Structure 1
């Protein structure tokens, strides 16, 4: 059978995957144990940990967090990011259709994560061969992984095939879509259970594992997307009041992952950990290359000789300046700020996040394009092309504060919501510029920009615009570069993707509940 969500050939691939990440990820350095099969695992704690470690590896797929997999559908096609030339146009310009940028690889990876989680949960829960602490931890991690898979699936496709226990091949081949309301409801219940089972913190050798606060953050995000304001606020308050996480004093420090042995900080709640020179084919990230410049594009006036005839050109001077500090511009330029967000005039006066997020000049050279400073790394020794160690920040505390502010405003108006948003803004401005005196609607609309500037490129923007009901108008009113014109193509159906064509051809039952395939037929 072809490679799709119904193929069981990859169900146990995670079990036999040995991960070796950065020095702070010793928890993924389990030795392979010969003889482990789906019939006899798990016989001890090490085997259970090996299996759950394999599920972390799935997150390193190019179709998820390694490169532009999820970013294609969460970041591109909004008002934040676009390429610096005519590439990725099907995604950015909303030329999506069945079999055309329909997210098939992301769909497959999410279902592999869901399948493996279901399989391993069945072998862990109630397994007396495991110590209670490991059984609880692994169960919590697997519940989180399954919830994360269905989080992405329901965000991108709405109603999707759903299972909690691994079905037979025959059942999978005729499975239909399930209402996303039911799926999300059960995932929230699972995350409640995961919260109770998972530890609050890990030791330095196990950073990157799912904590109870990661489970709470994912549950809060589910509630946010479903406009369940009180539940969202409750989860956010729990994290703010009781977790070990704190806002860093300096916004730029949140994204500083140097040195490589100290990439985590107190604001990170859950990250996908990548490392340079991993064991095996996965483990490093190429996402950074999308945000790094190409030297062939830079700097502005690159062939001008500022010293006159016979002297070096600007590009030669920039290359020399970069080399002096061990840097180079070897990226792709596929993910640069759109013109409006790159313009400081569109940010509030004094917003320190602008310079920490956007760069238009470097080493004294004006750049031809703006770039996201928060996501680039030009260091050629520690972060070379195609072999980057930068972690993908999935959840961090500032997002939790802004979610709490929005939930409180929706419940009771802005009076008590100011505390949350102004805590985030306190580090963003000098002098401080707290919010006050707004109506509920004014607060609601101000949050549109606040979340954009605080969380740009972090994978939240498109879902924010969709849940606010303003994706179409935002895209149509945003300035894009001359080679892109998403405003001409975007339609209401584009709040979801079509079920991938390859899946429909293998299982026509996927159209039973919606013959239009999310409006694409």
Structure 2
């Protein structure tokens, strides 16, 4: 069973920095830092303390991971179209600074900056007292601190755009700061990760990198590549949606850097990293809490058994305490109804990702069909867990923050942009080989990819593949923003959902009646009619039929509620009002010029 030790008391002693420069004797905080960061065991506890804010009630646990990422062209909140407030407003791009879920002083904004402050103290202490050279235990710790700080900033950047820059411990002069231009922060954390990757070991290489909860070289390089693409990509700014004007963040500068980071990780395939042979196995291991390093998961946001709400939020819905869980939850978000039909029928990711059933409201539950409007993410299932969850609101399953598949798709995207589709093809093929049975590789992998002979065609295919691979992982929104495709792709999805409801192309060969039967185990449904090309004439005998798709079943109001405000004008969340009010006039709405 995984165990994460979060050391609070050590870090609390470090949060206040003495500013009295007239005393000859060292300040108490200097003495504490010298004592802590010159001894590995104490310094390690301080590094663990950087992660402690993740599990706090309204931090990553109950706000950031449970709210960010929806709605997109493939994911939406499974709420009634008229439901407002909190998460529902944010999903529909109603980004009020007074949002009822976010406008509170203990929300993730405060907790993340608390984690950044702890990282700043650790970085200063290790540099001053730890002799953190590459290949040493203290070097590993410094690399971890730099990476955890970059991780926090990366998520603030993708959620808010321009944010407050803090790379030194707080002093009385720096308690109140305005927002900084995001470009300054991008440059700093990209440089920090360049230092960190020389300090930390590969996955499984040392005892410090034996689990997916440990910071390792593959993750650091992958995060650096991701940040390069974000920094060089599009985003909403004060004067509209554009790339950065900073020459240091140009595509010509950052894409080669990101590519090299990806290639370094790819060179480790078979030793430090690998794709899981089977897509379902990847997610079963996540639900089983298998955190052994060296596979596809490069780093996971760690939760103890009593913290974390990932299945609570994203799993297939259980309506009652039943044979699989003592926590009747899941299903707050799901795939759009069209996503299942957009997969190739032979794509093995489809049935793992898109689940059309929920578990009944019974102690001995069985699968039942709620309707075409409500699908669930099948990557997370209480029924796959080896631990029976009894908490009322926490499941403790880690969030996979980065996996090797993303490295391959980033490599494909960058190779295509810099050198063209031929150079991108091997990486896209590797992703699709895992998605299809080997007997289909000649058509679904080789012929499909080899037909992508232009840069534009390859890019469009990579955008599609990203959706098929990462649906439900809440990575899509940020990717669409940096591609400048957020509203464009969401509008396409609205049109597609209307076409599905009306039985029009490209969904004219989708059956509007489905047939189902409860199997002999008394809990599993067998469903006929979901595949394109299925027909009423071939429906199996003895199955119950039900209307599945219609304009009434797939409500127009729900379809059009994919967004309420223009997504391209609301790409980022505001700073929440409570923090504006308490900023001594430093924080204001809007972007930095």
Query: TM-score of the superposition, structure 2-length normalised?
Result: 0.71
Where 2:379 maps in the other structure, the secondary structure is helix
Change over 3 Å in CA distance of 1:127–1:240 after alignment to 2: same
Q: Is the 8 A contact 2:59 2:109 kept in 1?
A: no
Where 1:126 maps in the other structure, the secondary structure is helix
Look up the match of 1:152.
155
Higher mean C-alpha deviation, range 483-492 or range 386-395: 483-492
Look up the match of 1:382.
388
RMSD: 3.1
Distance 1:196 1:258 in 2: 28
Look up the match of 1:15.
none
Look up the match of 1:314.
none
Where 1:171 maps in the other structure, the secondary structure is coil
Look up the match of 1:186.
188
Distance 1:99 1:35 in 2: 30
Change over 3 Å in CA distance of 1:290–1:28 after alignment to 2: same
Q: Is the 8 A contact 1:147 1:190 kept in 2?
A: yes
- Measured after TM superposition, the shift of residue 271 of structure 1 is 0.4
The answer on 1:392 being equivalent to 2:399 is yes
Change over 3 Å in CA distance of 1:376–1:176 after alignment to 2: same
Look up the match of 2:549.
none
Look up the match of 2:369.
366
- Measured after TM superposition, the shift of residue 402 of structure 1 is 0.4
Distance 1:381 1:212 in 2: 30
Look up the match of 1:496.
572
Change over 3 Å in CA distance of 1:44–1:389 after alignment to 2: same
Look up the match of 2:430.
423
Q: Is the 8 A contact 1:63 1:70 kept in 2?
A: no
Where 1:81 maps in the other structure, the secondary structure is strand
Higher mean C-alpha deviation, range 260-269 or range 31-40: 31-40
Describe how 1:250-399 pairs up with structure 2 within 5 A: 250-257=278-285, 260=288, 262-264=290-292, 266-277=295-306, 284-294=307-317, 296=319, 323=322, 325-327=323-325, 330-341=328-339, 344-361=340-357, 365-368=368-371, 369-378=374-383, 382-384=388-390, 385-399=392-406
Change over 3 Å in CA distance of 1:400–1:381 after alignment to 2: closer
- Measured after TM superposition, the shift of residue 381 of structure 1 is 5.0
Higher mean C-alpha deviation, range 499-508 or range 211-220: 499-508
Higher mean C-alpha deviation, range 233-242 or range 470-479: 470-479
Higher mean C-alpha deviation, range 183-192 or range 123-132: 123-132
Q: Is the 8 A contact 1:493 1:518 kept in 2?
A: no
Q: Is the 8 A contact 1:256 1:263 kept in 2?
A: no
Where 1:375 maps in the other structure, the secondary structure is coil
Look up the match of 2:32.
40
Distance 2:58 2:334 in 1: 20
Alignment deviations for residues 313-348 of structure 1 (CA, whole Å, 9 cap, x no partner): xxxxxx8xx95x54577115311222222xx32112
Listed as ranges, the gaps of 5+ residues in structure 1 are 1-22, 278-283, 297-318
Distance 1:122 1:204 in 2: 21
Q: Is the 8 A contact 2:314 2:380 kept in 1?
A: yes
Q: Is the 8 A contact 2:93 2:570 kept in 1?
A: yes
Of residues 259, 262, 286, the one that matches 1:233 is 259
The answer on 1:249 being equivalent to 2:277 is yes
Of residues 56, 81, 88, the one that matches 2:51 is 56
Distance 1:380 1:24 in 2: 13
Change over 3 Å in CA distance of 1:350–1:67 after alignment to 2: farther
Higher relative contact order (CA 8 A, sep 6+): 1
The answer on 1:28 being equivalent to 2:24 is no
Change over 3 Å in CA distance of 1:474–1:329 after alignment to 2: farther
Change over 3 Å in CA distance of 1:213–1:54 after alignment to 2: same
